[in-house]
Amino acid sequence: MENAAQKVVRLLGGVTKAAIVAQVNPKSVYLWMDKGIITQPQAARRLALACSEVTLEELLFGLNGGPNGGGVKSTATSCNDTPLVSEVDAPGSPLAAATACAA
């Protein structure tokens, strides 16, 4: 299965073109393709703007997007278990609900 970095490279027409759009060395693009994420936020933003089929979140965090995306949803809660913040974390890192209470 193709990761987000590989997908954006394919859609843009190859490593050289992706490197030009991202304003990085092609070696960086190869590293991103191996990792499955783009480690430079500005480069990821440039690529996401150039390729509407891949989101910035997919590029930065490796999320697949959609209802079956690869992200893990975590919720921070207050002392009475009322959700305060909901966010998507990097895939493969399931986080328990965080609380604002001292033990």
CATH of the domain at 42: 1.10.260
Tell whether the model's pLDDT for residue 62 goes beyond 90.
Answer: no
pLDDT of residue 5: 94
Q: How does pLDDT run across 16-42, given as a tens digit for each residue?
A: 999 999 999 999 999 999 999 999 999
Residues 29, 9: Cα–Cα separation, whole Å: 8
**Pair 24, 47 in one domain:** yes
Cβ count near 13 (within 10 Å): 10
User: What is the number of alpha carbons within 13 Å of residue 87 lying toward its C-beta?
Assistant: 13
Burial class (CB in 10 A: 0-12, 13-18, 19+), 48: buried
**Pair 31, 57 in one domain:** yes
**Pair 57, 76 in one domain:** no
| Number of structural domains the chain divides into | 2
Model pTM greater than 0.85?
Answer: no
Tell whether the model's pLDDT for residue 1 goes beyond 90.
Answer: no
Tell whether the model's pLDDT for residue 3 goes beyond 80.
Answer: yes
Tokens 């209802």, residue? 67
Considering Cα of 69, then 74, then 91, then 43, what sign does the dihedral take? positive
Q: How does pLDDT run across 77-102, given as a tens digit for each residue?
A: 445 555 444 434 444 434 434 434 44
